A and B are shown apart, each in its own frame.
Chain A
Amino acid sequence: MTIPMEYGLWLAAILFCIGLTGVLARRDVIFMLMSVEVMLNAAGLAFIVGGAARGSADGQVMFIFILSMAAAEVSVGLALIIQLYQKFKTVDADSASQLNG
């Protein structure tokens, strides 16, 4: 039995929107980082679904790229969060708004 491609893409779209909502609604930087991970995985899922539908491995290759990139991004992001915490004694993203114009 095969799952139609649309289902996978809808799932990816819903995941992406959940992640985006998380980024926009949460003020806690750690949650924002987690939401970004959800968005990345949604994009990865879309690749895999697309690849599977065409019967090629390109989508999976792409997902591995995204995965390694996400790992690097998390390490940098966590380092930034530690710096943010040391400077402001909070992880509220809105408190770091000194670069306003």
Chain B
Amino acid sequence: MPELLWLIVALPFAGSLVLALAGKHIPRLATAMIGVGSVTISAIIMLFIGVDFLHANPAGTPVHQTLWQWINVSGFSPGIAFHLDSVSLTFVFVITFVGALIHLYSAPFMWKEEGFARFFSYMNLFIGFMLLLVLADNFLLLYLGWEGVGLCSYLLIGFWYKDPANGYAARKAFTVTRVGDTAMVIGLFILFTNYHTLNIQDILQAAPHTWGPGSGIAITTAFLLLGGAIGKSAQVPLQTWLPDAMAAPSPVSALIHAATMVTAGVYLIARTHVLFELAPIVQTTVAIIGAVTLIVAGMSALYQHDIKKVLAYSTISQIGYMFVALGVGAWSAALFHFMIHAFFKSLLFLGAGSVIAVLNNEHNMFKMGGLWKKMPAVFWTFLIGACALSALPLITAGFYSKDEIIWQAYASDKGSIVLWITGLAGAFITALYTFRMVFLTFFGNAKAEPAYRPGVAMTLPLVVLAFLSFAGGFIQLPDNMGHVTLFSQFIHHTLPVTVTATSGHAAEWIAQVIAAVVSIAGLALAYRIYYNKPFPAAEPVRSPIQRFFFQGWDFDQLYDKGIVQPIVFLSRIDKNDIIDRFYTGLASIAGLFNRGLAATQNGKLRWYAMALGIGAVITLTILLYT
């Protein structure tokens, strides 16, 4: 069965190619069949390989598959080769499985769009590149996937390209992530010059023997890789692109900007965990960045009116939690939260997409309300997703994943009380903004009437994802509650076990109770402020502090004033330097000749005859008198 690994990657690429080449000539139903089918078959093959991997291979030995050699230049020979271990299997599972559900949802969602085939072509291409990213056995192939998903993100954010604002958002996403990517490429250069290979496993095995812990080169490399990770995962200070990326259609937001691509940074750090462990300062930075991000994004989410912006900031904030977990060395907790987050966040985005679609593209939550009776399927699934996001205790998967992170932020040997308090504060904010969203959207007075009800193909993915958001947590329970460790055991085949400094069930119980109380307190506060209260639908006048949070802590203005405007100013000064003048001069001379010669082509036949006559006279004269 593992021989079929290449097929998982190849199928979405093939689907994308067929749709790109023949998309205009095949009917919509066939387009949907190809687009959804390719990813679904990938997901089925993935399930078979996954079951095989778990059963036939209890030790979790990585599966390796080399398809062909890509390049061979003086010892540098990366291959098109896949490396499947427990970490990449988790990612492949989420990408194909959640991806297939979102593709299924997209078919009715995008049915009336002009670029139906184009949409599925991009989506399939994205799945292909993302799988390439997580399965690559060398950094070059990983980087190909890395840039490929960036490209697809760009294409899909600008999917409705007729609105210039969407094009701007797409360019912004591409440019901001490029800052991180540049850092990452330099990191890869350092790795190559030191190890003369880009094979990930070789480097990870060699690194501890060549680089001492805390050595300068290890810190530099880890910092540069971290740069790539924060760009892709939209962490502070490169988080500004993700809220704007909500210009994409909702299924895209669910798949790319919540469930998969933005977690590529988490994957990169988990994959190169050896390098980060060699650089403790950088690993601490990871945790700090995560902690800062989860508060910054959470506060911004509290002030948004656009339902998708709330979810966008929430995504940034939740990835902040994953970064905290990575930073304290709780590798399996980070990946567990990644998986559960992919379930509930894509569920929330798809639910929000349904609401937006049936209300004729209304994004403002204050213009919604009272929808719970009118769209019961969407409401109940959305509620389950919201409970998971706010980590309501015991019943939701989000509790088990997030609680583990918050606990490890304190209990791990790299953890601290500050991280723990930040995590709790973040959990409170999360519950508050999540239920603010739920109460505004689904309760209160109905302000708009749904135009239609979502069909089966749209509600089925919601139901499946809701089930996973609820039941997914029971594969990993804390020590003191059943002590189920299916997931962490599986991950520990690849990543090291978290070193805990604090042990004992008493402390863990107290921490869990506090975490539970905090999230319920958030819910209760949201209930008091937002449940059944009449709010004006219009945009309110915001006080300066509200506007500060609403605009995402004014990072955009900061970058505009601090970076963009100085560069524009310098380039304006430098526009007419001597070199430019030389080349402009060449161009204007050519233009002069052009105008002169064009004037002789006046279209008048007699002029041409005259020119012929004069030419003949001159030629004869020369012939006769020389």
Give A contacts to B, CB under 8 Å: 20, 23-24, 27, 32, 93-94, 96-101
Contact A98 B603 (CB under 8 A): yes
Name, among B597, B600, B601, B604, the residue most crowded by chain A CB atoms within 10 Å (CB to CB): B604
Per-residue interface assignment for chain B, residues 565 to 600, with 1 indicating a CB less than 8 Å from any chain A CB and 0 otherwise: 000000000000000000000000000000001111
Contact of A24 with B603 at beta-carbon distance under 8 Å, contacts A101-B597, A101-B598 already known: no
Across the interface, do B602 and A97 meet the contact criterion of CB distance under 8 Å?
Answer: yes
Instruction: Write the nearest CB–CB distance from A32 to chain B, whole angstroms.
Output: 8
How long is the Cα–Cα vector from A94 to B602 in the complex, in angstroms?
Answer: 10
Chain B residue total in the interface (Cβ 8 A): 13
Query: Cα distance A99–B609 when bound, in Å?
Result: 15
Closest to A29 in B: B605
Q: Do the beta carbons of A93 and B606 come within 8 Å of each other?
A: yes
Are the CB atoms of A97 and B604 closer together than 8 Å?
A: yes
A43, chain B: closest CB distance, angstroms: 12
Most buried by A among B600, B605, B613: B605
Q: Quick check: B606 and A24 within 8 Å, CB to CB? A: yes
* Alpha-carbon distance A98/B603, docked complex (angstroms): 6
Q: How far is the CA of A97 from the CA of B608 in the complex (A)?
A: 11
Interface string of B131-163 (1 = CB under 8 A from A): 000000000000000000000000000000000
Measured CB to CB, the closest approach of chain A to B604, in angstroms, equals 5
**A-contacting residues, B231-264, CB 8 Å:** none
A residues near B613, Cβ cutoff 8 Å: 20, 24
Q: Which chain B positions have C-beta within 8 A of A94?
A: 604-606
CB-CB under 8 A from A99, the residues of chain B are 601, 603
- Which of B600, B601, B602, B606 contacts A27, CB < 8 Å? B606
Q: Are A100's CB and B601's CB within 8 A?
A: yes
B612 to chain A, nearest CB (A): 9
Contacts of A32 in B (CB 8 A): 605-606
- Give the residues in chain A near B558, CB-CB below 8 Å: none
Is the C-beta of B610 less than 8 angstroms from some C-beta in chain A? yes
With a cutoff of 8 Å between Cβ atoms, the chain B residues found around residue A100 in the complex are 601-604
| Closest CB in chain B relative to A26 CB, distance in Å | 8
For residue B603, give the distance in angstroms from its CB to the closest CB of chain A: 3
Known: A101-B597, A101-B598. A24 touches B604 (CB 8 A): no
Not counting A23-B609, A32-B606, a sample of 16 additional A-B residue pairs whose C-beta atoms are within 8 angstroms of each other reads: A24-B606, A24-B609, A24-B610, A32-B605, A93-B605, A93-B606, A96-B603, A97-B602, A97-B603, A98-B603, A99-B601, A100-B601, A100-B604, A101-B599, A101-B600, A101-B603
Q: Nearest residue in A to B594 (C-beta to C-beta)?
A: A101
Most A Cβ at <10 Å: residue of B597, B598, B606: B606
Nearest 4 pairs of A and B residues by beta carbon: A101-B601, A97-B603, A100-B603, A101-B598
- Shortest C-beta distance, A78 to chain B (Å), equals 16
How near does chain A come to B619, taking the closest CB pair, in angstroms?
A: 15
CA distance A24 to B610 in the complex (A): 6
Q: How far is the CB of B613 from the nearest CB of chain A, in Å? A: 6
